Amino acid sequence: MPAPVRLFLASSNRGKLAELTELASECGSGDRFTFELVGDFASTPAFDESAPTFAENAAGKAIHYSRACEGPVIADDSGLVVPALGGAPGVHSARFAGPGATDAQRIGKLLDEMRGKSPAERDAYFVCVLALARDAQCLAVISDRADGVLLEQPRGAGGFGYDPVFYLPQMKKTFSELSRQEKNRISHRGKAFRKLLAAAAELFGPGQKSAR
């Protein structure tokens, strides 16, 4: 069996690393890839995620950190899109309530913005875009989404970000009320990661150029 391909995650978040490793195992790719954080992430100048689209931010970030990494780099950008708010919070999801705001403050601002909206205006979706780069060259850009509706009050104790107010009618639960396995199966990030792993298998499978 060929040695596993090393993929590096452009993040300092070990929770994301654990999530990616778990997703790879769940979809049967656990023996094909190993995952590591970019080793000098903290000392590398930060990438300015100021582009107007998720794809530009993810691709730019992957290319940026691939210059300082001996192997393929995965980077992501994700957020919540509310059509009734003109697409906000969108790429500004993490900064929607200002720099350093807590999840509770971001949710509070979102609920304030949604006050008085009709049920038909409460549709929303999460987007995740993942990019794969090596040696400052973008090799793949993958995206997926999860559709739901925004509740008027948070529900559930799990998850993070806007999860407590993002309700999935088909599951009758918010993202915060899902088990980790359920969320991995249907979330925007879970679906996008599975697509990316399939693309990586094509790029770095037997007979392809080594990922180093």
* Residues with catalytic function: 77
Q: How far apart are CA 174 and CA 187, in angstroms?
A: 11
Q: Of 50, 84, 81, 202, which Cα lies nearest the Cα of 143? A: 81
Using DSSP, state whether 51 is helix, strand or coil.
coil
Strand order in the sheet with 73-81: 33-37, 5-9, 73-81, 123-134, 137-150, 166-168, 173-174
In the numeric block, the tokens 């792993």 are attached to 197
Which tokens is 33 given?
A: 């890839």
Count of CB atoms situated within 10 Å of the CB of 66: 26
What is the number of H-type helices and E-type strands within the chain? 5, 7
